[in-house]
Amino acid sequence: MGPKDKVKIGNKPMRVLVTGGMGFIGSHFVRHLIQSFPDLTAINLDKLTYAGNPANLEDLKDEPRHVFVKGDILDTTLLAGLFHEHHIDAVVHLAAESHVDRSILAPKEFIDTNVSGTLNLLSVALKSWESRGLMESARFVHVSTDEVYGSLGFNDPPAGEDARFTPNSPYAASKAAGDHLARSFHRTYGLPVVITNSTNNYGPFQFPEKLIPLTITRIMEGKAVPIYGRGRNVRDWLYVEDHCRALALVLFVGRPGDRYNVSARCELTNLELVEEIASLMDARTNPARASRELITFVEDRPGHDLRYGLDSLKIARELGWRPQVDITEGLSVTIDWYLENRAWIEGILSGDYLTFFEKWYGKRL
């Protein structure tokens, strides 16, 4: 917990299954759990797709309270074995196919992991916790996205927890289906599910297919930075560690059956954001040519949502969560991390990444 979180967590030992814990948010979340809760063990189940990277948790490789298991949430036998062997009493479900552009190229994997995988996990948790009498005390946190609410107009108020679902990409539709399943398991079977919907995260260890790390790494290489359309689309940016503190609060004190939005209320157009990154980078590296000149407007993403923005008054009011990192500080930390971790970047900018990049940007750049 951060110093400003008012909710105090008891000393109850917990054995938390974190799915997708080698991905971007998952690895920050596992680290947050291990560092903040000395009685807690994190069982980290990750398939290690292109987005899962053990280097993200290199610092925890000898930590006995971090147990990594390579596996797929589609494997029901594996899941049942993990619940039994590790006495799992909480799940934080982050495993997903997470990139919108990839969902446009190949939607099926998104349905497999984000819908069928979520259903498997819910079903195995239900069976295990019913048989062990844990239906009151256990928790299943389903981690979702603002994209399920669909696109806002420029003048709309930010979306609240009761906003209508209008997912527009195959990714968003698969996440919406997962949310509905999670909610239905609470309503139908009494599974202690809590759902979170957060805005766009950023920070160290983010795979450089997403806008912020893509921009930073392209500028580092002196290459064109692709912006879809005219760069007028708006996203609401959240520093990943602020998100992790919210997830921990929801895990320990969130109300089963409820949904909590998580937003730092930081809306920027893509062009504003990329220009800010360029200027923060130039202040550090002093290049011969201003990095903003690398900005290249390219063919738009099909179905591109105009604007996301969330109202997260509920988690502030009920759980005492507040974001602690503003965008300038968050971007600065993130940029410094990428500048200092070229080996991590080089480990990624190969193989699958290059295949995807060519397929998606080949005709754009």
95 contacts 29 by C-beta, under 8 angstroms: no
> In the beta sheet, which residues pair with residue 338?
none
Q: Candidates 89-97, 183-191, 270-278, 356-364: pick the segment binding ligand NAD (CB under 6 A).
A: 89-97
Smallest distance from ligand NAD to CB 136, Å: 26
Query: Does 143 engage in binding with ligand NAD (CB under 6 A)?
Result: yes
Supply the minimum distance, in Å, between the C-beta of residue 45 and ligand NAD: 6
Distance between CA atoms of residues 47 and 95, nearest Å? 9
Give dist(CA 67, CA 88) in Å, integer.
Answer: 12
Binding mask 176-215 for ligand NAD (x = CB under 6 A): ----------------------x-xx-----x--------
Interactions with ligand NAD, residue window 108-137 (CB under 6 A): 113, 117
Report the chain's C-alpha Rg in angstroms.
Answer: 20
- The terminus-to-terminus CA distance of the chain in angstroms comes to 43
Pick the stretch among 17-25, 123-131, 252-260, 314-322 that binds ligand NAD (CB under 6 A). Answer: 17-25
* Residue 100 binding result from ligand NAD, ligand DAU, none, given CB thresholds of 5 to 8 Å by partner type: ligand DAU
CB nearer to ligand NAD: give 186 or 235. 235
208, 295, 323, 345 from 348: Cα distances, Å:
8, 22, 30, 5
* Residue 239 or 252 with smaller CB distance to ligand NAD: 239
Q: What are the start-end ranges of the E strands in the chain? A: 15-19, 41-46, 66-70, 90-93, 139-145, 193-198, 200-202, 225-228, 234-239, 259-262, 267-269, 295-298
Tokens of 1: 């917990």
Contact between 52 and ligand NAD (CB under 6 A)?
Answer: yes
| Of residues 41 and 201, the one with the C-beta less far from ligand DAU | 201
Task: Walk across the sheet containing 139-145 and list its strands.
Answer: 66-70, 41-46, 15-19, 90-93, 139-145, 193-198, 259-262
Contacting residues toward ligand DAU, per CB under 6 A = 98-100, 145-147, 199-200, 210-211, 214, 226-228, 233, 235, 270, 301, 308
The minimum distance between CB 204 and ligand DAU, in angstroms, equals 15
The reply to whether 175 sits near ligand NAD by the rule CB under 6 A is yes
Closest to ligand NAD by CB, 129 vs 239, is 239
Site for ligand NAD contains 48 (CB under 6 A)? yes
Q: How far is CA 139 from CA 6, 87, 104, 136, 231, in A?
A: 20, 13, 33, 8, 40
Q: Which does 270 bind (CB under 5 to 8 A by kind): ligand DAU, ligand NAD, none?
A: ligand DAU
- Interface region with ligand NAD, contact rule CB under 6 A, candidates 10-18, 21-29, 157-165, 356-364: 21-29
- The residues that are catalytic are 146-147, 171
Instruction: Show the tokens assigned to 8.
Output: 């105090």
> Could you tell me the two tokens for 142?
């389903």
Q: Which does 47 bind (CB under 5 to 8 A by kind): ligand NAD, ligand DAU, none?
A: ligand NAD
Q: Distance of CA 5 to CAs 25, 125, 167, 315, Å?
A: 20, 29, 32, 11
Neighbour-count burial of 33, counting CB atoms closer than 10 A to its CB (0-12 exposed, 13-18 middle, 19+ buried): buried
- The binding site for ligand NAD (CB under 6 A) comprises 19-20, 22-26, 45-49, 51-52, 72-74, 94-98, 113, 117, 143-145, 175, 198, 200-201, 207
